[in-house]
Structure formats: structure tokens, C-alpha cells
Amino acid sequence: MARTADVVIIGGGIHGCSTALHLALRGLKPILIEKDYAGRHASGVNAGGVRQLARDVHEIPLSISSMDIWERIEELVGDDCGFDAHGTVLVAESEAELAGFRERVDDLNLRGFVHEELIDAAELRRLVPAVSEHCPGGVVSRRDGAADPFRTTQAFRRRAVEKGAEVIEGVTVTGLTRIGANWRVETSAGVFEAPRIVNAAGAWADRIAAMLGEPVPLSVVAPMLMVTSRLPPFIKPVVILRGRKLSFKQLENGTVVIGGGHLSTPYRDSNETVLDWEKLAISARTVWELFPAMHEATIVRAWAGIEAYMPDGIPVVGKSSTSEGVFHQFGFSTHGFQLGPGTGAMMAELVATGSTNTPIDGLGIERFQTKQK
């Protein structure tokens, strides 16, 4: 006997859990199927940056709507998720780089986006006193911040269940077929049926898309992070670079998380990653140059989370191009954590009503099919 639901969501990352919660809040009955456990991969082990800064223009509306939710996250999920808003600062390492940032901010302003703000050397030093003297300025997004990723994903999962969603973990989807008005979802724990499906399977989402006859050029990546032992507090905002890969953040407990997108080798079938220490050494040198105070900091752990990267670096969000009742929400290309809350709300609206007020133009899966022809 197949179990039935209004929607089957495949994947228990922040996106799947957020969509489950927002569907449940709309009175629908979703079943979420997760092959490991919620937050096991990128959603649970990312750097935790909650950032509107430096985003592709196509995803800025989702990022802004997400930010509105982040600012009342405790109201929504019953947990503050460790969110604090000390801003994100994009540091310019040269006058030429700063000039490029100025163009970007001007362009955003023309489009009506005002969250990015150019800052001079004095304001940069006020926000980030420890930054090296060679940096002439930067960009700040003041509402940005950081949160605890695993705690956040678990909070969405927990609240979704409280509101009527069912979350089934340790179960793999093995087949999808359309039968009448329903989708038949075959899994390692039996069959589920629902008229609608959301593919939020992250680094495994291309396999779901392939079952639907719409292959996507997804690559599996695992950006590396490392964390130091506890240091005295010396920096509040999240700091990122553009020319070199770096994201840098001191947590409340004093540890410093260093990331920025250097990649390890992922093995998605065994849930393993093999770190590339030569690239982490590049991160270490970047930190060394940017924050002289960090020289004797001790690295206690490095890791990587497996996720999906699209060729154009922006996610696949929207209706399937081939299959009625199927929706995609994957491919967040190493910056999907902040987008989770708002994308889940948008997706629930799209699934429930067939359309959404949040602009998602340019994010559809069809952009890959037309290119392939």
C-alpha cells in the first residue's frame, strides 16, 4: 500500500526543510524523504554566512525575502538559530578592486537594490579594526550576519514536523513514475504517492532530474572550511574577499571559521570528502596577510560539505520543464544557506498556488535544456 501526501519533498537540507515547513503552514501535508539525516551535508556543515552581499542579480529578490525571514527567525521556527547580524564586509585589497566594487554598487542602485553600501578606509577600519593596512575600503551589507547551520536546519525540520509535515530519514528515492494525477515515489522504505514533488536533493538532485527526463549539468563540489581554537574577540562582521577566495568569521565562542570556496574532492556515493591541504594552505596565507593577529592561531579541524554547483553558479528554482507537478529547488552553488528560508516560502507558494510573487526569472531549469540543443 502506497502512503499518500499532498507533496513529497526529496532532500532534508535547509531548503527541503524550509519548504516542508512553509507547505505545512499553508495547511498542506508534505512528506520529506532524506537519504541520511536532516542537515547531514552542506546545510549542516557550511560556514553559516547569512549574506545578501555580492549575489547574482537573479537571486537578489530571494535573498532579500529570505533576509526578512531571518530577522524574525525565532518567531518562525522557535529557535534563534544562533543568528546575529553584524554585517558582511567585502574587503577591497587594492584601489582597482575598490573601483570595481563602486561600479557594482552603482549598478545595483540603478536596479533599485540598496543593501550594498560602499565604504572607505576609515569605515572599513571601524567595522574591522584588525584588517591589514593595505586594504583601501570595501562594501558592507549591514543587515547580513551569520547563524549556526546545523541548528538552523534542525529547527526548520522540527517546526515543520510540529506543523504537520512528516520527515523520513535514512531513506533513498529509487524511482519516480507518473500514474494518473499522482507521482509514484519508490524508495528504500516503500512507495509514496503525491500529486506534487519538490526536488531539493542538493548534490544528488541531478539523479532525481534524470529520472524525470530532464538531465542537468550539475557538478558535485565540497568547499572546505577550517576552524581555529578559541581566540579573544577581535572581529564582529563576516569578512569576504573577491580577488582571492576567503570568508572569515569569528563565532561567539571565539573560534574563527575560515572558508571561501577552495574545493576538496567529493565522493557523493560514500558521503566522503578528501581535503586538499595545499589549497587550505592558500587560505591560511590569505588570512595571514589580511589579519596579522592570526599568525599563531591553531587550526583544530577542517572539513567539507557535499553540494551541487551549476555551470552558471546560480540555483535551479521553479517548475520542471518536462513533468507536471514537479518543482526544482537545488544547485545553490555554495551559497544557498541564506536563501533557505525565503526560497522555501516562495516554493510553498508556487506549489500551492501555481505561481509566486517573488521574481525567480533566470533561475529555471529550462536554461540548461535550451543551451544543450
Partner 1 sequence: MTASADLAPSYELVVIGGGPAGLAAAALAARAGVSTVLFDENPGVGGQIYRAITSTPVKDRAILGEDYWDGAKLAEEAKASGALIVNGATVWSLDRQRIVGISIAGKARMIEAGRVIIATGSQERPFPIPGWTLPGVMTAGAAQTALKAQGLVASGRTVLAGGGPLLWLLAAQTLRAGGKIDAILDTMPRRNWLHAMFHLPGFALSPYFGKGMALLKEVRAKVPIHRADTIEAVGADRVREVLFSSGGETRRLPADLLLLHQGVVPNVNLANAAGVAHVWNDRQLCFVPVLDADFGSSVPGIAVAGDGAGIAGGTAAAERGRIAAIAAVRALKPDCIVPDTQAIRQRLQREEMGRSFLDLLNRPVDAFRQPAGNTIVCRCEEVTANQVRDTAKMGCEGPNQMKAFLRCGMGPCQGRLCGLTVAELISAERGATLDEVGYYRLRPPVKPITLAELASLPISEAERKAVER
CB of 267 to partner 1, least distance (A): 9
The nearer residue to partner 1, 210 or 281, going by C-beta atoms, is 281
Q: Where are the alpha helices (DSSP H) in 184-268?
A: 205-211
Interface positions with partner 1 (CB under 8 A):
37, 39, 44, 150-151, 154, 228-229, 245, 262-263, 272, 274-282, 284-285, 287-288, 294-303
The type of residue at 142 is R
CB of 298 to partner 1, least distance (A): 5
Give, in degrees to the nearest 5, the angle at Cα 350 between 349 and 355. 105
For the chain, the maximum distance between any two Cα atoms, rounded to a whole number of angstroms, is: 67
CB of 152 to partner 1, least distance (A): 11
The nearer residue to partner 1, 115 or 262, going by C-beta atoms, is 262
DSSP 15: H
CB of 259 to partner 1, least distance (A): 14
Residue 286's nearest CA partner among 257, 251, 321, 258 is 258
CB of 227 to partner 1, least distance (A): 8
The nearer residue to partner 1, 54 or 299, going by C-beta atoms, is 299
Q: How far is the C-alpha of 242 from the C-alpha of 166, rounded, in Å?
A: 41
Rg of the chain's alpha carbons, rounded to an integer?
21
The nearer residue to partner 1, 257 or 350, going by C-beta atoms, is 257
The nearer residue to partner 1, 113 or 288, going by C-beta atoms, is 288
The nearer residue to partner 1, 209 or 226, going by C-beta atoms, is 226
Q: How far is the C-alpha of 238 from the C-alpha of 235, rounded, in Å?
A: 8
The nearer residue to partner 1, 25 or 302, going by C-beta atoms, is 302
Q: How far is the C-alpha of 18 from the C-alpha of 170, rounded, in Å?
A: 19
Polymer length of the chain:
373
Hey, which residues does 196 pair with through a beta bridge? 7
Hey, which residues does 193 pair with through a beta bridge? 4, 184
CB of 281 to partner 1, least distance (A): 4
Neighbours of 17 (CB within 10 A): 33
CB of 108 to partner 1, least distance (A): 26
The nearer residue to partner 1, 295 or 373, going by C-beta atoms, is 295
Q: What are phi and psi of 87, to 5 degrees?
A: 85, 160
CB of 137 to partner 1, least distance (A): 24
CB of 306 to partner 1, least distance (A): 13
Q: How far is the C-alpha of 62 from the C-alpha of 180, rounded, in Å?
A: 33
Residue 101's nearest CA partner among 122, 115, 118, 89 is 118
Q: In sequence order, what DSSP letters do the residues of 82-150 get, joined into one string? A: T-B---EEEEESSHHHHHHHHHHHHHHHHTT--S-EEEEHHHHHHH-TTS-TT--EEEEETT-EE--HH
CB of 31 to partner 1, least distance (A): 18
Hey, which residues does 119 pair with through a beta bridge? 138
The nearer residue to partner 1, 175 or 292, going by C-beta atoms, is 292
Q: How far is the C-alpha of 180 from the C-alpha of 83, rounded, in Å?
A: 44
The nearer residue to partner 1, 198 or 235, going by C-beta atoms, is 235
